[in-house]
Amino acid sequence: MREAHAAGGVVTGPNAIAPDRYVYYPGTEVLAEDEVRVVACGTGMPDQRRGQASACFVFEFGNGEKLIFDIGSGSMRNINALMIPAEYLTKVFLSHLHTDHWADLSALWAGGWTSGRPVPLEVWGPSGREPEMGTAYAIEHFLEAFNWDYQTRAFKITPAPGGITVHEFDYRAENADVYDHDGIAVRSIPAIHTGDGPVSYIIEYAGLKLVFGGDTSPNKWFVEHARDADFVIHEAFPGPRFFQEDYGQPAQLAWRACCEFHTSGPAFGKIMSQIAPRHAVAYHTLEEAHQELLLGIRSTYDGPLSIAVDMMVWNITKDGVQERMAVSPDRASAVPGPTRQPPPERGRSDPMSDFIKAGEWGPGFNAQNEMLDEHMRKFDLQDRDWRPSKPWYKR
Ligand SMILES: [Zn+2]
Ligand SMILES: [Zn+2]
Protein backbone atom coordinates (compact mmCIF):
# COMPACT_ATOMS: atom_id res chain seq x y z
CA MET A 1 0.00 0.00 0.00
CA ARG A 2 1.17 3.47 -0.79
CA GLU A 3 0.82 6.51 1.39
CA ALA A 4 -1.59 9.12 0.12
CA HIS A 5 0.45 11.96 -1.27
CA ALA A 6 -0.04 15.43 -2.55
CA ALA A 7 -0.51 15.93 -6.27
CA GLY A 8 2.54 16.52 -8.35
CA GLY A 9 6.13 15.47 -7.88
CA VAL A 10 8.46 14.71 -10.74
CA VAL A 11 8.83 11.68 -12.95
CA THR A 12 12.34 10.68 -11.98
CA GLY A 13 13.42 8.94 -15.19
CA PRO A 14 12.26 7.48 -18.48
CA ASN A 15 11.19 4.22 -16.79
CA ALA A 16 9.80 5.83 -13.62
CA ILE A 17 6.19 5.97 -12.50
CA ALA A 18 4.19 9.17 -12.85
CA PRO A 19 2.76 10.36 -9.53
CA ASP A 20 -1.02 10.31 -9.33
CA ARG A 21 -1.45 13.94 -10.08
CA TYR A 22 -4.98 13.58 -11.36
CA VAL A 23 -6.33 10.22 -10.29
CA TYR A 24 -7.24 8.46 -7.07
CA TYR A 25 -7.53 4.71 -7.45
CA PRO A 26 -9.83 3.59 -4.61
CA GLY A 27 -8.39 1.10 -2.19
CA THR A 28 -4.75 1.83 -3.02
CA GLU A 29 -3.79 4.58 -0.55
CA VAL A 30 -3.51 4.56 3.22
CA LEU A 31 -4.53 7.83 4.83
CA ALA A 32 -2.12 9.50 7.21
CA GLU A 33 -3.40 9.63 10.80
CA ASP A 34 -4.21 13.34 10.57
CA GLU A 35 -5.66 13.22 7.05
CA VAL A 36 -9.25 13.17 5.77
CA ARG A 37 -10.38 11.99 2.35
CA VAL A 38 -13.75 13.20 1.07
CA VAL A 39 -15.36 11.62 -1.98
CA ALA A 40 -18.32 13.19 -3.77
CA CYS A 41 -20.62 10.23 -4.44
CA GLY A 42 -23.52 12.41 -5.56
CA THR A 43 -23.59 16.06 -6.58
CA GLY A 44 -26.71 16.49 -8.70
CA MET A 45 -30.42 17.11 -8.64
CA PRO A 46 -33.39 15.03 -7.43
CA ASP A 47 -33.89 13.73 -10.97
CA GLN A 48 -30.70 11.71 -10.79
CA ARG A 49 -29.19 10.69 -14.09
CA ARG A 50 -26.70 8.05 -15.18
CA GLY A 51 -23.78 10.44 -15.02
CA GLN A 52 -24.72 12.20 -11.81
CA ALA A 53 -26.37 10.93 -8.63
CA SER A 54 -28.12 12.98 -5.95
CA ALA A 55 -26.33 14.35 -2.90
CA CYS A 56 -23.81 12.14 -1.09
CA PHE A 57 -20.35 12.72 0.39
CA VAL A 58 -18.24 9.97 1.97
CA PHE A 59 -15.77 11.18 4.59
CA GLU A 60 -12.87 8.84 5.38
CA PHE A 61 -10.68 9.65 8.36
CA GLY A 62 -7.08 8.73 9.13
CA ASN A 63 -8.25 6.77 12.19
CA GLY A 64 -10.17 4.38 9.90
CA GLU A 65 -13.63 5.78 10.52
CA LYS A 66 -15.91 6.41 7.55
CA LEU A 67 -18.99 8.62 7.79
CA ILE A 68 -21.52 9.10 5.01
CA PHE A 69 -23.09 12.55 4.77
CA ASP A 70 -26.37 12.24 2.86
CA ILE A 71 -27.09 9.28 0.63
CA GLY A 72 -29.27 10.60 -2.18
CA SER A 73 -30.90 8.69 -5.01
CA GLY A 74 -28.40 6.85 -7.19
CA SER A 75 -25.40 7.50 -4.95
CA MET A 76 -24.90 3.91 -3.80
CA ARG A 77 -23.40 2.91 -7.14
CA ASN A 78 -20.70 5.54 -6.59
CA ILE A 79 -20.16 4.44 -3.00
CA ASN A 80 -19.69 0.86 -4.21
CA ALA A 81 -17.12 2.06 -6.73
CA LEU A 82 -14.92 3.02 -3.75
CA MET A 83 -14.55 -0.70 -2.96
CA ILE A 84 -15.00 -0.18 0.78
CA PRO A 85 -16.22 -3.36 2.53
CA ALA A 86 -19.82 -3.00 3.72
CA GLU A 87 -18.81 -3.53 7.35
CA TYR A 88 -17.09 -0.13 7.34
CA LEU A 89 -20.08 1.73 5.92
CA THR A 90 -22.45 1.73 8.86
CA LYS A 91 -22.78 5.40 9.87
CA VAL A 92 -24.98 7.83 7.94
CA PHE A 93 -25.68 11.48 8.71
CA LEU A 94 -28.72 13.03 7.02
CA SER A 95 -29.03 16.76 6.40
CA HIS A 96 -32.77 16.49 5.72
CA LEU A 97 -35.37 14.09 4.45
CA HIS A 98 -35.77 15.02 0.79
CA THR A 99 -35.23 11.84 -1.23
CA ASP A 100 -32.32 13.36 -3.14
CA HIS A 101 -30.50 13.30 0.22
CA TRP A 102 -31.50 9.94 1.65
CA ALA A 103 -33.31 7.67 -0.84
CA ASP A 104 -30.33 5.37 -1.37
CA LEU A 105 -30.34 4.49 2.30
CA SER A 106 -32.45 1.61 1.00
CA ALA A 107 -29.62 0.51 -1.30
CA LEU A 108 -27.00 0.73 1.45
CA TRP A 109 -29.29 -1.04 3.91
CA ALA A 110 -30.15 -4.00 1.66
CA GLY A 111 -27.02 -4.05 -0.51
CA GLY A 112 -24.69 -3.89 2.50
CA TRP A 113 -26.70 -6.71 4.09
CA THR A 114 -26.23 -9.00 1.08
CA SER A 115 -22.55 -8.09 0.76
CA GLY A 116 -21.46 -8.83 4.28
CA ARG A 117 -22.31 -6.08 6.79
CA PRO A 118 -22.56 -7.92 10.11
CA VAL A 119 -24.22 -5.16 12.16
CA PRO A 120 -27.17 -2.70 11.98
CA LEU A 121 -26.81 0.70 10.33
CA GLU A 122 -26.72 3.83 12.45
CA VAL A 123 -28.43 6.97 11.19
CA TRP A 124 -28.10 10.47 12.60
CA GLY A 125 -30.63 13.06 11.55
CA PRO A 126 -32.68 16.03 12.68
CA SER A 127 -36.03 16.16 14.43
CA GLY A 128 -38.90 17.99 12.79
CA ARG A 129 -41.36 20.54 14.06
CA GLU A 130 -43.74 17.63 14.66
CA PRO A 131 -42.64 14.04 15.39
CA GLU A 132 -43.95 12.93 11.97
CA MET A 133 -41.48 15.28 10.28
CA GLY A 134 -38.40 13.88 12.03
CA THR A 135 -35.72 11.31 11.22
CA ALA A 136 -36.90 8.75 13.81
CA TYR A 137 -40.37 8.71 12.22
CA ALA A 138 -38.85 8.40 8.75
CA ILE A 139 -36.66 5.44 9.71
CA GLU A 140 -39.45 3.70 11.66
CA HIS A 141 -41.68 3.88 8.61
CA PHE A 142 -38.84 3.07 6.23
CA LEU A 143 -38.50 -0.22 8.08
CA GLU A 144 -42.25 -0.77 7.94
CA ALA A 145 -42.33 -0.07 4.20
CA PHE A 146 -39.47 -2.51 3.64
CA ASN A 147 -40.86 -5.15 5.99
CA TRP A 148 -41.11 -7.81 3.28
CA ASP A 149 -37.49 -7.19 2.37
CA TYR A 150 -36.53 -7.35 6.05
CA GLN A 151 -38.40 -10.55 6.88
CA THR A 152 -37.14 -12.49 3.88
CA ARG A 153 -33.48 -11.45 4.23
CA ALA A 154 -33.57 -11.88 8.01
CA PHE A 155 -34.73 -15.48 7.50
CA LYS A 156 -32.38 -16.38 4.67
CA ILE A 157 -29.23 -14.43 5.63
CA THR A 158 -29.18 -13.11 9.21
CA PRO A 159 -31.34 -10.50 10.97
CA ALA A 160 -28.87 -8.10 12.62
CA PRO A 161 -27.79 -6.10 9.53
CA GLY A 162 -31.46 -5.27 8.85
CA GLY A 163 -31.70 -3.08 11.93
CA ILE A 164 -31.26 0.68 11.95
CA THR A 165 -30.34 2.56 15.11
CA VAL A 166 -31.58 6.15 14.94
CA HIS A 167 -29.93 9.08 16.66
CA GLU A 168 -32.38 11.97 16.27
CA PHE A 169 -31.32 15.37 17.52
CA ASP A 170 -32.97 18.77 17.82
CA TYR A 171 -32.82 20.56 14.46
CA ARG A 172 -32.79 23.91 16.29
CA ALA A 173 -29.64 23.10 18.26
CA GLU A 174 -26.86 25.47 17.37
CA ASN A 175 -23.43 23.87 17.10
CA ALA A 176 -24.33 21.13 19.58
CA ASP A 177 -22.55 17.76 19.51
CA VAL A 178 -24.46 15.05 17.70
CA TYR A 179 -21.48 12.64 17.54
CA ASP A 180 -18.24 12.44 19.47
CA HIS A 181 -16.17 9.31 19.04
CA ASP A 182 -12.51 8.40 18.62
CA GLY A 183 -11.37 11.95 17.95
CA ILE A 184 -14.16 12.84 15.51
CA ALA A 185 -16.74 15.40 16.61
CA VAL A 186 -19.82 16.21 14.53
CA ARG A 187 -22.02 19.16 15.42
CA SER A 188 -25.17 20.44 13.75
CA ILE A 189 -26.51 23.87 12.89
CA PRO A 190 -29.97 24.72 11.53
CA ALA A 191 -30.49 25.28 7.80
CA ILE A 192 -33.25 27.15 5.98
CA HIS A 193 -34.87 24.98 3.33
CA THR A 194 -38.56 24.45 2.53
CA GLY A 195 -39.61 23.58 6.09
CA ASP A 196 -38.30 23.14 9.62
CA GLY A 197 -35.81 20.29 10.07
CA PRO A 198 -32.88 20.64 7.66
CA VAL A 199 -29.40 21.04 9.16
CA SER A 200 -25.77 21.34 8.16
CA TYR A 201 -22.86 19.60 9.89
CA ILE A 202 -19.57 20.82 11.29
CA ILE A 203 -16.96 18.05 11.54
CA GLU A 204 -13.75 18.33 13.56
CA TYR A 205 -10.87 15.89 13.38
CA ALA A 206 -7.12 16.16 14.01
CA GLY A 207 -7.27 19.93 14.20
CA LEU A 208 -9.17 20.14 10.92
CA LYS A 209 -12.57 21.78 10.63
CA LEU A 210 -14.75 20.47 7.81
CA VAL A 211 -18.30 21.51 6.97
CA PHE A 212 -21.00 19.60 5.12
CA GLY A 213 -23.85 21.88 4.17
CA GLY A 214 -27.15 20.26 3.24
CA ASP A 215 -29.76 22.12 1.24
CA THR A 216 -30.12 25.66 2.51
CA SER A 217 -30.59 29.22 1.47
CA PRO A 218 -28.05 31.69 2.88
CA ASN A 219 -28.33 31.49 6.67
CA LYS A 220 -26.69 33.17 9.64
CA TRP A 221 -25.74 29.92 11.39
CA PHE A 222 -23.63 28.76 8.47
CA VAL A 223 -21.82 32.08 8.17
CA GLU A 224 -21.08 32.09 11.89
CA HIS A 225 -20.07 28.47 12.48
CA ALA A 226 -18.34 27.57 9.21
CA ARG A 227 -15.99 30.51 9.56
CA ASP A 228 -12.30 29.73 9.03
CA ALA A 229 -12.96 26.08 8.23
CA ASP A 230 -10.42 24.08 6.26
CA PHE A 231 -12.94 22.55 3.89
CA VAL A 232 -16.49 23.72 3.30
CA ILE A 233 -19.12 21.96 1.18
CA HIS A 234 -22.20 24.07 0.41
CA GLU A 235 -24.91 23.74 -2.21
CA ALA A 236 -24.88 26.13 -5.19
CA PHE A 237 -27.73 26.25 -7.66
CA PRO A 238 -27.73 27.56 -11.22
CA GLY A 239 -29.63 30.84 -11.65
CA PRO A 240 -33.23 31.37 -12.76
CA ARG A 241 -32.32 31.56 -16.47
CA PHE A 242 -31.07 27.98 -16.37
CA PHE A 243 -34.11 26.62 -14.58
CA GLN A 244 -36.53 28.36 -16.89
CA GLU A 245 -34.83 27.92 -20.26
CA ASP A 246 -32.88 24.66 -19.85
CA TYR A 247 -34.89 22.90 -17.16
CA GLY A 248 -38.36 23.90 -18.27
CA GLN A 249 -39.60 25.36 -15.02
CA PRO A 250 -42.21 28.12 -15.03
CA ALA A 251 -40.64 31.55 -14.49
CA GLN A 252 -42.24 32.05 -11.10
CA LEU A 253 -40.80 28.76 -9.81
CA ALA A 254 -37.39 29.22 -11.49
CA TRP A 255 -36.45 32.31 -9.51
CA ARG A 256 -37.55 30.83 -6.21
CA ALA A 257 -36.05 27.31 -6.64
CA CYS A 258 -32.58 28.74 -7.12
CA CYS A 259 -32.77 31.65 -4.83
CA GLU A 260 -35.38 31.35 -2.12
CA PHE A 261 -35.06 27.79 -0.88
CA HIS A 262 -31.61 27.15 -2.29
CA THR A 263 -28.41 29.19 -2.77
CA SER A 264 -27.39 30.55 -6.17
CA GLY A 265 -23.84 31.25 -7.40
CA PRO A 266 -23.56 34.88 -6.31
CA ALA A 267 -25.04 34.03 -2.89
CA PHE A 268 -22.68 31.06 -2.48
CA GLY A 269 -19.74 33.34 -3.31
CA LYS A 270 -20.88 35.92 -0.80
CA ILE A 271 -21.06 33.28 1.93
CA MET A 272 -17.58 31.95 1.10
CA SER A 273 -16.09 35.43 1.03
CA GLN A 274 -17.50 35.94 4.50
CA ILE A 275 -16.29 32.68 6.03
CA ALA A 276 -12.99 32.46 4.07
CA PRO A 277 -12.45 28.68 4.05
CA ARG A 278 -9.16 27.14 2.97
CA HIS A 279 -11.14 25.36 0.27
CA ALA A 280 -14.77 25.75 -0.84
CA VAL A 281 -16.84 23.09 -2.65
CA ALA A 282 -20.06 23.83 -4.53
CA TYR A 283 -22.46 20.99 -5.39
CA HIS A 284 -26.13 20.31 -6.20
CA THR A 285 -25.87 21.56 -9.75
CA LEU A 286 -25.55 20.19 -13.27
CA GLU A 287 -22.40 20.12 -15.37
CA GLU A 288 -24.05 21.99 -18.23
CA ALA A 289 -24.66 24.86 -15.79
CA HIS A 290 -21.09 25.02 -14.45
CA GLN A 291 -19.97 27.95 -16.57
CA GLU A 292 -22.93 30.06 -15.57
CA LEU A 293 -22.57 28.99 -11.94
CA LEU A 294 -18.86 29.78 -11.93
CA LEU A 295 -19.43 33.26 -13.29
CA GLY A 296 -21.99 33.82 -10.56
CA ILE A 297 -19.69 32.55 -7.81
CA ARG A 298 -16.72 34.54 -9.12
CA SER A 299 -18.77 37.74 -9.04
CA THR A 300 -18.58 37.56 -5.22
CA TYR A 301 -15.73 35.15 -4.30
CA ASP A 302 -12.18 34.72 -5.58
CA GLY A 303 -10.89 32.07 -3.17
CA PRO A 304 -10.07 28.35 -3.62
CA LEU A 305 -13.01 26.53 -5.17
CA SER A 306 -14.18 23.22 -6.62
CA ILE A 307 -17.47 22.77 -8.40
CA ALA A 308 -18.06 19.15 -7.52
CA VAL A 309 -18.88 16.38 -9.94
CA ASP A 310 -19.49 12.77 -8.97
CA MET A 311 -16.31 10.93 -7.92
CA MET A 312 -14.31 14.07 -7.25
CA VAL A 313 -11.94 13.42 -4.32
CA TRP A 314 -10.19 15.69 -1.88
CA ASN A 315 -7.36 14.78 0.48
CA ILE A 316 -7.30 17.26 3.32
CA THR A 317 -4.47 17.85 5.79
CA LYS A 318 -3.14 20.88 7.61
CA ASP A 319 -0.68 21.23 4.73
CA GLY A 320 -3.29 21.62 2.03
CA VAL A 321 -6.23 20.32 0.04
CA GLN A 322 -5.57 18.13 -2.97
CA GLU A 323 -8.31 17.58 -5.57
CA ARG A 324 -8.38 14.58 -7.89
CA MET A 325 -10.90 12.31 -9.58
CA ALA A 326 -11.53 8.76 -8.39
CA VAL A 327 -11.23 6.21 -11.15
CA SER A 328 -12.74 2.84 -10.42
CA PRO A 329 -14.25 -0.10 -12.33
CA ASP A 330 -17.96 0.21 -13.11
CA ARG A 331 -18.46 -3.32 -11.83
CA ALA A 332 -16.92 -2.94 -8.37
CA SER A 333 -19.17 -4.24 -5.61
CA ALA A 334 -19.34 -6.47 -2.55
CA VAL A 335 -15.66 -6.19 -1.63
CA PRO A 336 -15.31 -8.51 1.38
CA GLY A 337 -13.96 -7.34 4.72
CA PRO A 338 -12.43 -9.43 7.52
CA THR A 339 -15.63 -9.97 9.56
CA ARG A 340 -18.14 -12.74 8.82
CA GLN A 341 -21.86 -12.22 9.31
CA PRO A 342 -23.54 -14.28 12.03
CA PRO A 343 -25.46 -17.29 10.66
CA PRO A 344 -29.26 -17.29 10.22
CA GLU A 345 -31.20 -17.31 13.48
CA ARG A 346 -32.83 -20.57 14.47
CA GLY A 347 -36.55 -20.50 15.20
CA ARG A 348 -37.51 -17.58 12.96
CA SER A 349 -40.78 -18.17 11.17
CA ASP A 350 -40.34 -19.00 7.51
CA PRO A 351 -41.90 -16.29 5.31
CA MET A 352 -42.64 -18.90 2.63
CA SER A 353 -45.72 -21.13 2.96
CA ASP A 354 -46.08 -24.82 2.08
CA PHE A 355 -48.45 -23.76 -0.71
CA ILE A 356 -45.66 -21.91 -2.50
CA LYS A 357 -43.03 -24.54 -1.71
CA ALA A 358 -45.27 -27.22 -3.22
CA GLY A 359 -44.87 -25.39 -6.54
CA GLU A 360 -41.14 -26.12 -6.79
CA TRP A 361 -40.50 -27.87 -10.09
CA GLY A 362 -38.22 -30.83 -9.46
CA PRO A 363 -36.51 -31.20 -12.86
CA GLY A 364 -35.34 -27.58 -12.66
CA PHE A 365 -33.92 -28.03 -9.16
CA ASN A 366 -32.36 -31.43 -9.89
CA ALA A 367 -30.63 -30.02 -12.96
CA GLN A 368 -28.31 -28.17 -10.55
CA ASN A 369 -27.27 -31.21 -8.52
CA GLU A 370 -23.88 -31.81 -10.09
CA MET A 371 -22.88 -28.19 -9.53
CA LEU A 372 -24.20 -28.19 -5.96
CA ASP A 373 -22.59 -31.54 -5.08
CA GLU A 374 -19.23 -30.13 -6.06
CA HIS A 375 -19.81 -27.05 -3.89
CA MET A 376 -20.91 -29.25 -0.96
CA ARG A 377 -17.76 -31.40 -1.19
CA LYS A 378 -15.48 -28.42 -1.59
CA PHE A 379 -16.82 -26.62 1.49
CA ASP A 380 -17.70 -29.68 3.56
CA LEU A 381 -21.41 -28.90 3.72
CA GLN A 382 -22.67 -32.50 3.84
CA ASP A 383 -24.45 -31.99 7.17
CA ARG A 384 -26.13 -28.84 5.85
CA ASP A 385 -27.46 -30.21 2.58
CA TRP A 386 -30.89 -28.61 2.20
CA ARG A 387 -32.04 -30.88 -0.62
CA PRO A 388 -32.86 -34.31 0.93
CA SER A 389 -36.00 -32.99 2.68
CA LYS A 390 -37.41 -31.83 -0.66
CA PRO A 391 -39.98 -34.17 -2.26
CA TRP A 392 -38.42 -33.64 -5.70
CA TYR A 393 -34.85 -34.48 -4.70
CA LYS A 394 -33.23 -37.20 -6.82
CA ARG A 395 -29.68 -38.21 -6.07
ZN1 LIG B 1 -33.87 19.47 -0.23
ZN1 LIG C 1 -31.42 18.62 -2.51
Ligand 2 midpoint to CA 285 (Å): 10
- Residues with Cβ within 5 Å of ion ligand 2? 100, 215
Grouping H, G, I as helix, E, B as strand and the rest as coil, residue 79 is helix
- Write the class of the CATH domain 21-326: alpha beta
Taking the centre of ligand 2 as the mean of its atom positions, its distance from the CA of residue 96, in whole angstroms, is: 9
Nearest ligand, CA of residue 193? 1
CA-closest candidate to residue 186, choices 134, 236, 126: 126
Question: Which segments of the chain have a pLDDT < 50?
Answer: 1-6
Angle (deg, nearest 10), helices 147-156 and 105-114: 10
Contact call for residues 57 and 69 (beta carbons, < 8 A): yes
Residue 291: what pLDDT?
95
Closest ligand to residue 45's CA: 2
Expressed in angstroms and rounded, the spacing between residue 77 Cα and the centre of ligand 1 is: 21
Three-class secondary structure of residue 186 per DSSP: strand
Which residues, in sequence order, are CB contacts of 216 under 8 Å at separation 6+?
191, 192, 193, 198, 200, 222, 234, 235, 262, 263
Distance 252 CA to ligand 2 centre (A): 19
Q: 89-115, pLDDT tens digit by residue? A: 999 999 999 999 999 999 999 999 999
Identify the nearest ligand to the CA of 100 by its number. Answer: 2
Q: Give the C-alpha separation, 244 to 252, whole Å.
A: 9
Could you tell me the distance, in angstroms and rounded to a whole number, from the CA of residue 277 to the centre of ligand 2?
Answer: 22
Number of helical H runs and strand E runs in the chain: 13, 18
**Spacing, Cα 360 to ligand 1 middle (Å):** 47
Q: 45 alpha carbon to ligand 1 midpoint, in Å?
A: 9
pLDDT of residue 17: 85
Alpha helices, DSSP H, located in the chain: 76-80, 99-102, 105-114, 135-145, 147-156, 220-225, 240-241, 251-257, 265-275, 290-298, 354-357, 362-366, 369-378
What are the extents of the domains in the chain? 21-326, 354-384
pLDDT at 302: 97
- Ligand 1 centre and the CA of 46: distance in Å? 8
CB atoms within 10 A of CB 376: 17
pLDDT, tens digit (0-9, with 9 covering 90-100), for 333-378? 889 999 999 988 889 999 999 999 999 999 999 999 999 999 999 9
* Residue 331 near residue 278 (C-beta atoms within 8 A): no
pLDDT reported for residue 4: 45
Closest ligand relative to 285 C-alpha:
2
Q: DSSP code of 382? A: G
User: Against a cut of 0.85, is the pTM above it?
Assistant: yes
**Residues with a beta carbon under 5 angstroms from ion ligand 1:** 98, 215
Q: What number of other Cβ atoms are within 10 A of residue 388's Cβ?
A: 7
Q: Which residues lie below 8 Å from residue 362, measured CB to CB, with a gap of 6+?
A: 390, 391, 392, 393, 394
Quick one: pLDDT at residue 346?
Answer: 86
Phi-psi domain of 20 (left: phi exceeds 0; alpha: psi -120 through 50; beta: other) = beta
| Residue 8: per-residue pLDDT | 63
Torsional sign, CA 133, 239, 212, 224 = negative
Ligand nearest to the CA of 98: 1
**What is the per-residue pLDDT for 247?**
87
CA 389 to chain centroid: 43
User: What distance in angstroms lies between residue 213's CA and the mean position of ligand 1's atoms?
Assistant: 11
80 vs 338: CA distance, rounded Å: 17
Structure confidence at residue 145 (pLDDT) = 98
Ligand nearest to the CA of 54: 2
| 223 alpha carbon – ligand 2 mean position (Å) | 20
